[in-house]
Amino acid sequence: MKKLYGLLGERLGHSLSPQIHSILFDTLDIEAYYHLFEVRKENLRDALYGLKALGVRGINVTIPYKVEVMKYLDDISEEVRKIDAVNTIHFINGKAIGYNTDYYGFGTLLDNYNVNIKNRKAIVLGTGGAAKSVVQYLNDNGAKEIILVSRDEFNKKEWLRNFKVISYDKICELQEELDIIINCTPCGMYPNIIDSPVCKQDISKFKIAIDLIYNPEQTVFLNYAKQLGIKAINGRYMLIGQAIKAQEIWNSVKIKSQTIKYINNRLISK
Ligand code: NAP
């Protein structure tokens, strides 16, 4: 019988995950199917217990449930302890174990574009779940300074306590030399593709611009960076990287590093 995996979220219509995991199942020679589980908030608990009871092997979790699912888990991994958000669950031996593979996916993206963050100064736009994974990765890997940008500079989220948080209108006032700007907001994502979280002038201060958004492939934010001659990177390798890490967890395997490019090419050709 085919093994069952899937993605749990509220609205999943445009997800690329089934395509990516289907390529990974072929690569790993696993007979499996990846299903989109659209679940309403009031049914989240029942859905999770149901998936476990039905023998589903593993799921990814997306907006808006990455934090909410944590109370239904039996255990969490080391990175989840730091990030407090789960995007991958492994159902094993009657237990549900939570992981955060966005953290590793972001690392995969940096590695594949040869972006070294050690001693670099980064600005992170947004203070949601993805921003938290990105900031943790930057912190764990030697970034020199991390500044968060929020629509509310007095943002009271507990994890922001140790960081400098500024509002968007203060970016242009930053005097120091800056390296990387990372968009961790949904601003510019399909269908709102004409939006950008910052103006072109703000991006001109940086050497590298990263947008976690992968749909569209080139957001207005990345377009500005390109026009300015700045290295512009979208979130596609992060998406593929987090999926690869999830498969490694679910199937106790190590997937070759070149698989990321193979998947990326297959996605382009569709
Ligand atoms: P989230 O938890 O909803 O957080 C997004 C944050 O962005 C919010 O906390 C908010 O921060 C800010 N924000 C929200 N709406 C905004 C708007 N209209 N204008 C400006 N700022 C806004 O979402 P998330 O899970 O962190 O995801 C954020 C983005 O990353 C999404 O586009 C998602 O698709 C993408 N993502 C990509 C990958 C990948 O694999 N490539 C993985 C995870 C997420 P403030 O209130 O502080 O302003």
pLDDT single digits (tens) 76-102: 999 999 999 999 999 999 999 999 999
Residue 13: per-residue pLDDT: 83
Model pTM?
A: 0.95
Please tell me the distance between residue 186's alpha carbon and the centre of ligand 1 in angstroms: 4
What is the CATH T-level fold of the domain 104-234, as seen in this structure?
Rossmann fold (3.40.50)
* Known active-site residue 200: no
Q: What is the DSSP letter of 117?
A: -
Residue 269: per-residue pLDDT: 45
Q: Is the pLDDT of residue 113 over 80?
A: yes
- The residues lining ligand 1, judged by C-beta closer than 6 Å to any ligand atom, are 63, 102, 105, 126-131, 150-152, 155, 184-187, 189, 197, 212-214, 235, 238-239, 242
Chain centroid to CA 88: 11
Confidence band of 156 (pLDDT split at 50, 70, 90): confident
Domain ranges of the chain: 3-99+237-269, 104-234
Please tell me the distance between residue 75's alpha carbon and the centre of ligand 1 in angstroms: 26
Please tell me the distance between residue 48's alpha carbon and the centre of ligand 1 in angstroms: 24
Helices (H) and strands (E) in the chain, counts: 9, 12
Confidence band of 1 (pLDDT split at 50, 70, 90): confident
Q: Is the pLDDT of residue 21 over 50?
A: yes
Please tell me the distance between residue 69's alpha carbon and the centre of ligand 1 in angstroms: 18
Select from 88, 149, 184, 238 the residue to mutate for testing ligand 1; criterion: most ligand atoms less than 8 Å from CB.
184
Average pLDDT score over residue span 55-72: 95
Give the position of tokens 């996916």. Answer: 105
Catalytic-role residue among 52, 66, 132, 245: 66
Nearest atom within ligand 1 for CA of residue 130: 26
> Percentage of residues in the chain with pLDDT exceeding 70?
99
Residue 155: per-residue pLDDT: 86
When comparing pLDDT for 4 and 177, which is higher?
A: 4
- Which residues, listed in sequence order, are joined to residue 231 by a DSSP beta bridge? 208
DSSP H or E segment with residue 37: strand 32-38
Poorest-pLDDT segment among 36-40, 87-91, 128-132, 136-140? 128-132
Residue 268: per-residue pLDDT: 64
Contact by Cβ (8 Å): 120, 114: no
For the chain, the average pLDDT equals 95
Q: In angstroms, rounded to a whole number, what is the distance separating the alpha carbons of residues 182 and 198?
A: 11
Residues 189-212 pLDDT 10s: 999 999 999 999 999 999 999 999
Residue 270: per-residue pLDDT: 47
Average pLDDT score over residue span 25-31: 97
Token pair listed for 234: 């979208």
Q: Is the pLDDT of residue 181 over 80?
A: yes
Select from 8, 88, 185, 190 the residue to mutate for testing ligand 1; criterion: most ligand atoms less than 8 Å from CB.
185
> 93-124 as b/e, with b when 16 or more CB fall inside 10 Å?
eeebbbbbbbbbbbbbbbebeebebeebbbbb
Answer yes or no: same fold for 3-99+237-269 and 104-234. Answer: yes
Q: Whose CA is nearest to atom 3 of ligand 1?
A: 128
- Which residues, listed in sequence order, are joined to residue 183 by a DSSP beta bridge? 125, 211
Poorest-pLDDT segment among 42-46, 120-124, 152-156? 152-156
For domain 3-99+237-269, the CATH architecture is 3-Layer(aba) Sandwich (3.40)
